């Protein structure tokens, strides 16, 4: 089944994802565990700049699943460094290693 132009799946395909339906599901699942204020469009744009967006989103999901708290902090710091994190949303302190 092909995505219609203008649909979210078509946008993911244009962004370089080869399996847009799977990427959509994984991105939405990862977004649930990420900090409030994380922008899906910015996340997709950042991931689409990688050599393999499908593998990059899989890596993101694995990080989020392994440690949601650390992933949230890491995500905010990475997005802040790239200029994608809204300055109105404060960064949490880095999680401490036990």
Q: Provide the residue-wise pLDDT of the chain in tens; the chain has 98 residues.
A: 444 455 788 989 998 999 999 999 999 888 887 777 778 888 888 888 888 989 988 888 887 787 766 666 665 566 555 555 445 445 455 445 44
Query: 0.75 exceeded by the pTM?
Result: no
How many whole angstroms separate alpha carbon 50 and alpha carbon 62?
Answer: 17
Query: What span, in angstroms and rounded, lies between the C-alpha atoms of 5 and 14?
Result: 10
Q: How far apart are CA 98 and CA 40, in angstroms?
A: 31
């Amino acid at each position: 089944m092909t995505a219609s132009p203008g649909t979210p799946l078509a946008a993911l395909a244009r962004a370089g994802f080869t399996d847009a339906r799977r990427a959509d599901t994984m991105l939405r699942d990862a977004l649930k565990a990420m900090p409030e204020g994380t922008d899906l469009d910015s996340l997709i744009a950042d991931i689409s700049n990688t050599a393999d967006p499908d593998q990059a989103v899989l890596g993101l999901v694995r990080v989020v699943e392994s440690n949601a708290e650390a992933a949230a902090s890491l995500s905010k710091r990475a997005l802040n460094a790239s200029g994608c994190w809204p300055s109105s949303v404060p960064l949490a302190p880095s999680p401490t290693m036990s």
